[in-house]
């Protein structure tokens, strides 16, 4: 049987209208209602009618968590993954699917995480495409207050830090393309330390369960089912980098032959394709994709 990994995208993959088709599936109604009770606002209303709000971290992260987790619940009726991983926010969905976190607990954590990250100011993030990696590593090492926040693929990274430091890196590395990201702060960098400390206190009080399937974490892409290890890694995630390139490389090393991206868009399968060319890649963005899979 083909060994399959499910991967879950993070902030940046959201799109207006995502999740709306899930309303046609009767089993989803309870989850959407439960989410509204926890959040105090409607995921469906934001996804359907308010593109501006959906672009803000405060709403983006809970909406992605709810939509992706519901898609995963439906997909689990048809198949089971052999391994899971998520990009930044997506790691919370992966932990839910692996049985590490109860669904409502995961959503409450995501809600608070989004609030803390939304309130972070004073930093910036810029994506770099097609660059000299050796030079980038040298420049980052020589530039205080700038780090590689997302190592996404051999040809794409995201730099995070103070505006001055990030600009200094860009000016020296001279990537083919540099794209500023529309975020409120320097996510996945030491500049998130204050928010991370507050969030750590919350995470410490949450019960993590041993995973049903191995999880590849952002900050340490070595698969594990150990609850204590997964909690420790999640605590480090807000200030640590997303090592997605290494996660991609770890997939075949873990015997994975097929990868299913569960959530809006195809960002992760695109990144994986640039890193590992021999994997079967599929996308489940909505009900239509689930129907195709069933056939």
Tokens of residue 59, six digits = 């709403």
Alpha-carbon gap, residue 9 to 67, rounded angstroms = 11
Torsion sign, CA atoms 240, 160, 39, 200: positive
Strand-pairing partners, residue 148, are: 159
Q: Is 151 helix (H, G, I), strand (E, B) or coil?
A: strand
Instruction: Kindly state the DSSP code that residue 224 receives in the 8-state scheme.
Output: B
**H or E segment at 281?**
strand 280-284
Alpha-carbon gap, residue 252 to 140, rounded angstroms = 29
Phi, psi of 17 (to 5 degrees): 95, -10
Instruction: Kindly state the DSSP code that residue 240 receives in the 8-state scheme.
Output: S
Instruction: Check: CB of residue 98 under 8 Å from CB of residue 84.
Output: yes
Strand-pairing partners, residue 83, are: 5
Q: Return the active site residues.
A: 88, 188
Alpha-carbon gap, residue 131 to 179, rounded angstroms = 13
**H or E segment at 86?**
strand 83-86
């Amino acid at each position: 049987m083909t060994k399959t990994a499910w991967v879950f995208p993070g902030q940046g993959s959201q799109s207006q209208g995502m999740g709306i088709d899930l309303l046609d599936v009767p089993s989803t109604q309870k989850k959407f209602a439960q989410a509204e009770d926890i959040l105090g606002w409607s995921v469906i209303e934001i996804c359907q009618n308010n593109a501006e709000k959906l672009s803000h971290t405060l709403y983006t992260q809970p909406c992605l968590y709810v939509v992706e987790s519901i898609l995963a619940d439906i997909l689990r009726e048809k198949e089971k993954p052999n391994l899971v991983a998520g990009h930044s926010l997506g790691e919370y969905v992966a932990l839910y699917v692996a049985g590490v976190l109860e669904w409502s607990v995961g959503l409450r954590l995501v809600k608070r995480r989004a609030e803390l990250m939304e309130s972070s100011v004073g930093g910036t993030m810029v994506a770099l495409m097609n660059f000299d990696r050796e030079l980038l590593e040298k420049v980052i090492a020589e530039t205080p207050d700038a780090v590689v926040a997302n190592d996404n693929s051999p040809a794409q990274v995201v730099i995070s830090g103070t505006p001055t430091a990030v600009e200094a890196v860009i000016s020296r590395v001279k990537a083919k393309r540099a794209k500023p990201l529309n975020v409120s702060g320097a996510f996945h960098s030491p500049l998130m330390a204050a928010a991370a400390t507050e969030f750590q206190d919350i995470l410490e009080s949450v019960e993590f369960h041993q995973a049903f399937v191995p999880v590849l974490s952002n900050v340490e892409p070595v698969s594990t089912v150990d609850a204590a290890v997964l909690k420790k890694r999640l605590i480090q995630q807000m200030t640590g980098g997303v090592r997605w390139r290494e996660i991609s490389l770890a997939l075949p090393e873990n015997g994975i032959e097929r990868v299913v991206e569960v959530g809006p868009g195809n960002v992760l399968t695109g990144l994986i394709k640039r890193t590992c060319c021999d994997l079967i890649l599929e996308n489940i963005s909505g009900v239509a994709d689930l129907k195709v899979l069933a056939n």
